[in-house]
Amino acid sequence: MADDTAYGDTSDQDLLARHVDGDPDAFGELVRRHRDRLWAVALRTLGDREEAADAVQDALVSAYRAAHTFRGQSAVTTWLHRITVNACLDRARKAASRKTSPVDDTERLEQLLEPHEEASAPAERNDLHRQLLEALGTLPPDQRAALVLVDMQGYPVAEAAHLLDVPTGTVKSRCARGRARLLPLLAHLRPEKGDQRKEQGEARNRTQGTSVPPAAGPPTDGPRDTGPSDSAAVKGGGGRA
């Protein structure tokens, strides 16, 4: 295998061309560069480590074999993401038809957060993320993929449309329908306006170095139990691809 620095100044497109020309190490370098983001997209789309690993493997095999068809009309990373998203959608549809049972909520949460975040947040934040991801899992695969790309991965609508091979209007529609389906499931997580103003006021007080004296009389709420604050982050094989 070639040294990691051997291709340091080589572009993705040149690496793909070298692979097509028979360089035995060029495609491996492409995988090394992009596997983490591909892995992250697969985990967020499928929510299952084994399914995501299989989808990424399927995508890389397809890319390896179809490298000669790449025409440079998009970036290599966009091409790889498109193949990966399609592999994920294929698996998501098959999983939906099999009615497979979901993985454990805690495990799924850690999988979906990794590698972007440490899974060591307070209990309240963990619970919020768990509910968000459970709600996301209720969406049809096409809507879920659009929301993952646009809302979670931060892709512009036009680029997400290119990855999904659909018109931009379709991506917008899928995102809108997905958000509409998620809203009633997540409405209870949104703070009331009064609570928001209270939190903002408290934040300003903390910023200014002042403290708000407690109200007279017995407290209305008992001590808040935040639960354990640390949990081991799950490192997926391959990370972001």
In a domain, 3, yes or no: no
Identify the pLDDT of residue 200: 53
Q: How far apart, in Å, are the Cα atoms of 57 and each of 6, 50, 69, 106?
A: 24, 11, 19, 25
Q: Residue 45 — φ and ψ, nearest 5°?
A: -80, -40
Cα gap 212→215, rounded to integer Å: 9
Q: In degrees to the nearest 10, what's the CA dihedral of 160, 162, 164, 169?
A: 70
Q: Which of 28-32, 109-113, 138-142, 145-149 has the highest mean pLDDT?
A: 28-32
DSSP for 149-208?
Answer: IIIIS---HHHHHHHHTS-HHHHHHHHHHHHHHHHHHHGGGSPPHHHHHHHHHHHHHHHT
Its domain, for residue 54, covers 12-189
- pTM of the predicted model over 0.75: no
- Name residue, tokens 């997580």: 189
Which CATH number does the domain housing residue 129 bear? Answer: 1.10.1740.10
In a domain, 116, yes or no: yes
Percent of the chain with pLDDT over 90: 28
In a domain, 91, yes or no: yes
In a domain, 215, yes or no: no
Q: Name the burial class of residue 29, with classes exposed (0-12), middle (13-18) and buried (19+) by CB atoms within 10 angstroms of its CB.
A: buried
In a domain, 185, yes or no: yes
Span 142-198, pLDDT tens digits: 888 888 888 878 889 998 898 888 999 999 999 999 888 888 887 776 655 555 455
Span 79-100, pLDDT tens digits: 999 899 989 888 887 766 655 4
Tokens of 80: 């790889």
| Total domain count, the chain | 1
For residue 122, pLDDT over 90 is answered with no
